Structure 1
Amino acid sequence: MSLLQDLEWRGIIYQQTDAEGLKETLQKDQIALYCGVDPTGDSLHIGHLLPFLTLRRFQLAGHSPIVLVGGATGLIGDPSGKSEERKLQTIETIQYNVKCLQSQLARIFDFEGENGAVMVNNYDWAGSMDIVTFLRDYGKHIGINYMLAKDTISSRLETGISFTEFTYTILQGLDFLHLYEHHNCKLQIGGSDQWGNITTGLELIRKNMPEGAKAYGMTIPLVTKADGTKFGKTESGAVWLDPEKTSPYEFYQFWINTADADVVKYLKFFTFLSHSEIDQLEQAVQEEPHLRKAQKTLAEEMTRLIHGEEALKQAINITAALFSGEIKNLTAAEMKQGFKDVPSYKHTTGDEFEIIEMLVAAKISPSKRQAREDVTNGAISINGERITSIDYILTEKDKIEGEFTIIRRGKKKYFLIKY
């Protein structure tokens, strides 16, 4: 099966500028291709992943990926999907974000060997360009009517769009032209919202390069959930690749909680499992859905890819401990991950305190009477150890690393006491 046939099977191809031309080119040559992202924040989220994972599939098939982080375009802001002007950020902030995103993307690609990935920043060629050069050499080739026909621009005409954002598509098109000239880059891939910017790049190549220059564009479908809710969002917000924003445990939990209706699609989109492996997991969803084999595999593959083997082991340990209640087997670092978002109470008075007083103060039990019942009935555990004495005093020995204590009421309700 060819690379394009594999992408079709996975449902990854949404639009192509010249499907037959690209097919013929890939049959004959190993090509360079690129995908880019603007560093508007200091971390990618999982909504950014699919185009870059598709770029990685090309690399595994022998092609040469160019990973672009837009230090220049990030200073402007893509009007795509926006109803109003983006707030501009400083050069220092954008360049800091560039470094953060580059380190995250470096986990996905192989930078060694004949087709090793190349990391580029468009600030290197666009940052020092003067306005006259931009207007004469590039703006001259893109007509106003051509730009007004693009959805990203026409959708903003009612609410207003600045000249800055209006010209964004030319600036991004310049990236494709530059990479075509200097890296022999023949293909740009991106999300479905990037179609207009990709075709602008092709237009600049057509206008600036010798007749017969061949280049192509491909877009990836928007990732959706079967229930209509937005992919990549949880109650606490976006699922980030930065482990400080979304811990590996939280990252793992996002994937393992995938609905049966979505899991096979996500396995095809995001993992590098073979067709036969995915077919077997699809069968497991149909015949043994309670075992959640597909979800476990998806969570393991994605956590290993983004955070590494050690972080995956931690995520699995935390998951198993929380399910069984055996949290005393966890390290302090694992506890911090696993209990990051549970209800918490800040204790500020005294080094020792009675368990009944703490249960009421932290609103773990609604009253002293209920607190006493909870303790005597064995419903209260401290750091994984059941407490049955209403006279129990919490002391320094109950503090983990001197920072927190974990209290469980019943089987699943956890609370964090912070100091």
Structure 2
Amino acid sequence: MFVDQVKVYVKGGDGGNGAVSYRREKYVPLGGPAGGDGGRGGDVVFVVDEGLRTLVDFRYQRHFKAPRGEHGRNKSQHGAGAEDMLVRVPPGTTVVDADTGEVIADLVEHGQRGIIAKGGRGGRGNTRFATSANPAPEIAENGEPGQERNITLELKLIADVGLVGYPSVGKSTLLASVTAARPKIAAYHFTTLKPNLGAVDLGERSFVLADLPGLIEGAHEGVGLGHQFLRHVERTRLIIHVIDMAGTEGRDPYEDYLSINQELKLYNIRLEERPQIIAANKMDLPEAEENLNRFRELVPNVPIYSISAATNQGVKELMYAVAEKLETLPLKPVIEEVAEVEARVVFKAEPEAAEFEITRDSEGVFIVSGEKIEKLARMTNLNSYDSIQRFSRIMRSMGIDDALRKRGAKDGDTVHIGDFEFDFVE
């Protein structure tokens, strides 16, 4: 089974909770706080394994959650950080955030790693909150929640050369004639439903050749096998454009050439600049020679090789020309631009207009939303009076209390922050 696109859910491990503890030792009557910090949650890390070729394993496991960090302990002992969750993926895997469309990682080399979901930091123990005014605080933080993401994995085959062209122009026949690959070949459209790879061995030189499903008009919009095919062309260093020069299906070879290149350009404008060699196929059939002469006049600046994949005519010369061209091109496959990973933001108490938003639902409940305040609520131990007081002070410093009053909040009104519910108190 060939699988080249799947959607999965990943979550970094939550940080361990900080501890509230005090020294209880003989002859130390005022030992003070001794609660340790929680440990860091594990990251979800994707690792390239060159032994994998498809994403089929992700069809059976679609949720990946890293372990949480250990909780802090007494005697100021910090909890241990959790181990990262390592997930193996095949070379050529692109990881895209399903909600934003940003490319998180483009993994192409064996052993390459990408952090897909970060674990949360451990909560601070009460040792961290001791001050001269409050030398024995009962405040400790819960661990920071791990990052959650819905992601799309796309596998783009890493091949040196890709065969492109309309269905039934002879791509699979050409692959079978120059490699040990045995793709399905038949006289109907879309015989090739999945990419096929083969290694071309020319003695001192060799390269990987990919036979990709045929293109039709509208492929850049997903028509036919559009996106499933075009995804793999992006990785190739060189394109062999196979054209039915005999026009056996009633199409004009030159129009085929223009249409295919237009589809490549519309899908990804960078493909317009990808080096191309034209394989004028089916030259053993009538009218092919006449069509080729006209084609050469219309396309003067692209290398054209006359071949017949069925009889092997000119195929060897084409492969040597491809090998020579590859020697002039960069070795590394084309890599996607990866979005910059934002550094973890530590909560700041300074009020900013964009830090939160207040809305009101149909039942009159005030809903306060914002990444920082919601994270703070999750990290606050609501079973501790001191922790709740600290949470209230930060809300006031952010301006949330004043903003609620301006929206009409009165004593006893219900306020939602994340998963928590509070009564507004004047």
Indicate the TM-score class for this superposition, using the shorter chain for normalisation: under 0.3
| Structure (1 or 2) with the larger CA radius of gyration | 2
Greater fraction helix: 1
Greater fraction strand: 2
